């Protein structure tokens, strides 16, 4: 008995040529219409039928477009917000760290710029009095009114010696009275032990600026018959070889004539009123002046 092999069914793809012809016909029709409309658009004027139809369609669809924009704007915002929620904690931490680093860099850049401006101003003071100097920072302020002394971060290792003048961009501040390897102390001109040979700039009247217990500066030994006015600038005179000539000491704020006296009473507001607001100073190193070892003060 002979076994017949099983037959397998074969799937036959049926292709309707009429459907393809219809699709091609529609494509040709749309292409012809597009060409005709485009030709009419460019050849007719702005009041032609195609332009009028387009304007009418735009008029009808504009409210719909605006309504759709109004409806979907919150949806888009919500989708963007949800997308932001997908940012991982590690990405947020990295962004925060980067922001902190950029902020720190900006602060440091501002600080360096301010420091550069202060040092440039100090160097200008040294050039104005034809003296070289060493920039120093203030690391200690006066403890009390009896001893107005500040501490600087430069000492003998930086070439600092006793008696050197200390100034700022505003004017004279004091004089070096004590030294260490990497520090020094400067007595302020407002200290009661301080004295500076001075000159009223506009009148060229000499005198001596003395400090006091309460920090007030007085211009002494100015004859009562001379004319000194409020607002006059007082400079170092250069006499005695202690301070170079021309450093600003301060400005006259009060002048009075007492009876039966030879000299005027003149009060000066110092150029540097508060050392707590000063960061950098200039120690003038050329031609070191002598300093009195017996009193711890300065010679005029």
pLDDT at residue 210, as a whole number: 95
pLDDT at residue 223, as a whole number: 92
Same domain? 141 vs 280: yes
Q: Which of 190, 157, 193, 189 is nearest to 175 (CA)?
A: 189
Give the number of domains in the chain: 2
Same domain? 156 vs 53: no
Structural domain contains residue 183: yes
Same domain? 43 vs 158: no
Domain boundary among the residues 44, 67, 90 is at: 67
Structural domain contains residue 97: no
Structural domain contains residue 216: yes
Structural domain contains residue 242: yes
Same domain? 275 vs 137: yes
Q: Which of 200, 237, 192 is nearest to 217 (CA)?
A: 192
Helices (H), the chain: 17-43, 49-84, 89-128
Maximum distance among all Cα pairs of the chain, rounded to whole angstroms: 162
Same domain? 55 vs 138: no
Residue count (the chain) = 300
Hey, how many other C-beta atoms are within 10 angstroms of the C-beta on 297? 17
Print burial letters for 67-101: b (CB count within 10 Å at least 16), e (below 16).
Answer: eeeeeeeeeeeeeeeeeeeeeeeeeeeeeeeeeee
Domain boundary among the residues 13, 36, 67 is at: 67
pLDDT at residue 297, as a whole number: 46
Residues of the domain holding 279: 133-284
Structural domain contains residue 92: no
Structural domain contains residue 161: yes
For the question of whether the overall pTM of this predicted structure is more than 0.75, the answer is: no
Structural domain contains residue 95: no
Query: Can you give the CATH number for the domain in which 243 is found?
Result: 2.40.10.340
Q: Which of 293, 272, 289, 269 is nearest to 281 (CA)?
A: 272
The DSSP letter of residue 210 is: E
Structure tokens at 25: 């016909």
Q: What is the pLDDT along the chain (300 residues), one digit of tens a residue?
A: 455 555 555 555 555 566 677 777 777 787 887 787 777 666 766 667 766 776 666 666 666 666 665 665 676 666 666 566 655 666 777 777 777 667 766 666 665 566 666 666 666 665 555 567 888 999 999 887 778 999 999 999 999 999 999 998 888 999 999 999 999 999 999 999 999 999 999 889 999 999 998 889 999 999 999 999 999 999 999 888 788 888 999 999 999 987 778 999 999 999 988 888 888 898 988 754 544 443 344 445
Same domain? 190 vs 59: no
pLDDT at residue 120, as a whole number: 63
Place of tokens 């888009």: 76
Structural domain contains residue 218: yes
- CA separation for the pair 184, 139 (Å, rounded): 10
């Amino acid at each position: 008995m002979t076994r017949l092999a099983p037959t397998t069914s074969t799937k036959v793809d049926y292709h309707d040529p009429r459907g393809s012809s219809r699709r091609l016909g529609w494509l040709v029709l749309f292409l012809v219409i597009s060409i005709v409309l485009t030709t009419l658009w460019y050849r007719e004027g702005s009041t032609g039928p195609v332009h009028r139809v387009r304007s009418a369609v735009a008029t009808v669809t504009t409210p719909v477009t605006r309504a759709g924009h109004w409806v979907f704007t919150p949806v888009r915002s919500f989708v963007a917000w949800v997308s932001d929620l997908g940012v991982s904690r590690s990405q947020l931490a990295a962004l925060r760290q980067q922001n902190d680093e950029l902020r720190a860099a900006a602060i440091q850049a501002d600080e360096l710029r301010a420091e550069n401006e202060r040092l440039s101003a100090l160097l200008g003071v040294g050039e104005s009095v034809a003296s070289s100097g060493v920039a120093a920072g203030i690391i200690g302020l006066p403890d009390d009114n009896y001893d107005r002394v500040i501490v600087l971060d430069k000492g003998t290792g930086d070439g600092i010696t006793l008696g050197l003048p200390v100034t700022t961009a505003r004017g004279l501040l004091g004089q070096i009275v004590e030294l260490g390897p990497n520090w020094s102390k400067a007595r302020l001109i407002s200290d009661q032990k301080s004295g500076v040979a001075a000159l009223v700039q506009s009148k060229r009247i000499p005198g001596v600026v003395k400090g006091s217990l309460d920090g007030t500066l007085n211009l002494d030994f100015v004859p009562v018959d001379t004319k000194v006015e409020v607002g006059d600038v007082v400079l170092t005179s250069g006499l005695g070889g202690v301070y170079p000539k021309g450093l600003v000491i301060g400005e006259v704020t009060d002048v009075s004539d007492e009876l039966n006296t030879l000299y005027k009473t003149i009060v000066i507001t110092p150029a540097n009123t508060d050392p707590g607001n000063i960061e950098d100073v200039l120690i003038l190193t050329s031609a070191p002046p002598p300093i009195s070892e017996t009193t711890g003060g300065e010679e005029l």
